[in-house]
Structure formats: C-alpha cells, structure tokens
Amino acid sequence: SVHRNKKSITLNLKTEKGKEIFYKLAEKSDVVIESFRPGVTKRLGVDYETIKKINPKIVYCSVSGYGQNGPYKDLPGHDINYIAIGGILGLTGQYGGPPIIPGIQIADLAGGCMLATISILIALIAREKTGKGQYIDVSMTDGAVSLLTHTSALYFAEGKPPERGGTNLTGYFPCYNVYEAKDGKYISIGCLEERFWRNLCKAIGKEEFAEHQWDTNKREEIFSALKKIFKTKTRDEWFKELSKMDVCVGPVYSLDEVFQDPQITHRKMAVEIEHPTIGKIKILGIPIKFSETPGKIRTPAPGFGEHTEEILKMLGYNQKEIEEFKKSEII
C-alpha cells in the first residue's frame, strides 16, 4: 500500500554522474523530499541551497526525527523514540500501568508523512501566488507533540501533567473504555456526551448510573458493574444491540475482521489490483472520496529501481550510457 502510483530509480549520489542525474530530475520537478539525517544532503551536494540554484521554484521538504536544528538533531531514532520524547508514549496505557507501545507508528505516519504532505501542498499553493519555492523542515517529534491538543490544554490550564490513563479520553471513566465480552472479544464504548451515556445506561438496565458519569466516587462501582454486564453477551451481540440504541459503540477487531466488516467493504478500504510479477494482490483502498476527481490506484508499489532505465531515457540518456552507469555503479 506504500509507494503505489510511483516509480523507483536507484542512484549513487556519491558520484558526480549520479549528482548530475539528480540535478536533471530536480530541474523538471515540483517537489524534492528527503529523509536523511541533518547535514547529509549538504555533504552529498543535493541540499536545498544547491537545488534552488538549479530550480528556484522547487519545494524542498526534509523529514527527520527531531528536525534540522536543536540538541537532538543528530540523534538516531525510530517512532517509539519520537513518541516517547513527544509525550504520546507516556500517556498511552492503563491507569496505574506502564507505557504501552501503540499498534501503529504515530510519529512516522501522522507526525512525518501527513504533516509533510500538508506542508508541501501549502508550499505549492503559496508558489502559485508568489512564484517562489521554499524549504520545509518537518520533525516527526514536533508532529507527535502537535497531536497533544487535548492533553496539553489540560496541562497548560491546570499546571500539572495528566496521568497515564487518567483523563476522560484515556479510559479513566467507565463511559469511555473497552470491555471484555462473553466470547473473550472486546467492545469499545465512547459515550462522552451525556445523552449517549444515558442511552447506554438505559440499554443495560442501569439507569441509576446516568447521573454519575463523571463521579470519581462512583467510578469503581460503575466499572465493576459494567465489566460484569458486558460479559453476559458476545461482542457482536452487544454491537448489534447497542448500535440500535444510539450508543457510541464499536467492536474491537482483529485485522482479518476489519476487512470483512460491511462498513469497511462498502467504503472499499481494501481493493484487489494486478501485480506484474505475483498476480492479484490486496492493498488498502483510497481513504478520501472526491466527488469530481476520485483517486485511482494505477500501479502497485514499484520494485527497488524498477523504473531506473525508463526515467533515465526520459531524461535523454541512451542505452549505451545507461549500461555504462551500471558498470560504474552509478545506478
């Protein structure tokens, strides 16, 4: 699902000829994205200042763990490190328990990919108005911090950090939590608003709890009761029943269940495409639905360097030169 609709070229940027090819690509491009550690592109001679001289309208985006400056800029890292320093890992887990690693890469995907995409689009729109390209510095750690909207507001207002699992959106209260069902599977309850909480209390025959949604003195009592109640029916029975009662509810799925769910299949979030070497494969669908310009998956993710020759020929190199590039390990 990653890199579909793209073409792949291999290029040795430590060679002069490799740089020459890169410069030709940059001259014809709107955007350059790189994810080296700070300083690497300058050493290679493909940094923003160099490329800007070749193409003044270029939008050049650097995505790194900690950004292009600051005391951590040269540190190695991965998603777990960025969300640790960015505060997300410290907030993730049950009340009184240890930090729990999320099931997806939050800083990589939300802090890096999405922020880079948004910033590049903004820069391209700005270029339409000003005629100028620009440099973009995206830090995955900054991106992680930017996701702390609710918890940072609590911290700034109260002057003390929220405890892990200790807020209304992290499972401290019974109205927003996960419960085990009769079949050992889990059901999620997200009744933050009073009316949804009342609907749940009515549905499970505990209307007396409706007045105590945020009552810390009643919290353990309500938790204990709900845990017992949810174990009286299977996960899917609860989902079917509660979804008819205007309750914020959702089954906790394994991945195989996700891609069999009627809502997910209706929205075509898993699609089958033809791969040139292995035949039909399933990949993720397109999550954004445009009315006038719907997205289309034209090609699967390319093999490493799959389109090197095609791209070089597009740049004007002939087959003899391409063979020489191979011998010289430029490509």
Handedness of CA 43, 79, 306, 297 (dihedral sign): negative
For position 48, what pLDDT does the model report? 99
For position 98, what pLDDT does the model report? 97
Flag whether 12 is in a domain: no
Flag whether 133 is in a domain: no
Which three-class secondary structure state does DSSP give residue 25? helix
Flag whether 33 is in a domain: no
For position 111, what pLDDT does the model report? 85
Q: Which tens digit of pLDDT belongs to each residue from 21-32?
A: 999 999 999 999
Flag whether 28 is in a domain: no
For position 196, what pLDDT does the model report? 99
CA distances (Å), 123 to each of 57, 107, 204, in order? 10, 22, 52
Flag whether 235 is in a domain: yes
For position 1, what pLDDT does the model report? 83
CATH of the domain at 196: 3.30.1540.10
The residue range of the domain holding 226 is 176-252
Strand pairing report for 59-64 and 31-34: parallel
Flag whether 242 is in a domain: yes
Buried b (16+ CB within 10 A) or exposed e, 205-218: eeeebeebbeeeeb
**What residues act catalytically?**
108
The one-letter code for the residue type at 237 is E
Handedness of CA 167, 172, 174, 180 (dihedral sign): positive
For position 19, what pLDDT does the model report? 98
Flag whether 117 is in a domain: no
Flag whether 327 is in a domain: no
Q: Which tens digit of pLDDT belongs to each residue from 132-154?
A: 999 999 999 999 999 999 999 99
Residues of the chain where predicted confidence (pLDDT) is lower than 70: none
d(CA 232, CA 207): 18
Work out how many domains the chain is built from and give that number: 1
